[in-house]
Amino acid sequence: MTATSFSATSAPGSLVLSGDIDAADHRALNDLIEQASETFTQNLTVDLRAVTFLPSIIVGVLARATVLAKKNGAQVTLVAAEGSVPQRVLTVCKIPFEQVDA
């Protein structure tokens, strides 16, 4: 995989992202989510609490993942901290997520 502007830590059922996720990272992020969710067939929690930049193309990757998982009987759950960039962006875009305390 190519270098990304963000970091990711994966564990079964979980993907924790941190840093600035740039537009150029959209393919890398999609691949990470696809692998972690076993091609959108297993439940996955994507933790965005430490993400500091979230452009619209990345929001599209996240939204697409939730739709593909649902079509396969699985769920991709997005988690964002109250007052964070992801929380504000996901709220404006009306994309469902779980909000946790900062």
Per-residue pLDDT tens over the stretch 24-63 = 999 999 999 999 999 999 999 999 999 999 999 999 999 9
> pTM above 0.85?
yes
Could you tell me the residue ranges of all domains in the chain?
A: 6-100
pLDDT at position 2 is 60
Per-residue model confidence as pLDDT tens digits over 61-85 = 999 999 999 999 999 999 999 999 9
pLDDT at position 75 is 98
DSSP type of residue 26: H
pLDDT at position 25 is 96
**Which CATH homologous superfamily contains domain 6-100?**
STAS domain (3.30.750.24)
| Neighbour tally for 76: CB within 10 Å | 23
- Residue 20: burial class (beta carbons within 10 Å; 0-12, 13-18, 19+): middle
Query: Where does the pLDDT of residue 102 fall: very low under 50, low under 70, confident under 90, or very high at 90 and above?
Result: confident
Helix (H) or strand (E) holding 53: strand 44-53
**pLDDT value at 90 more than 70:** yes
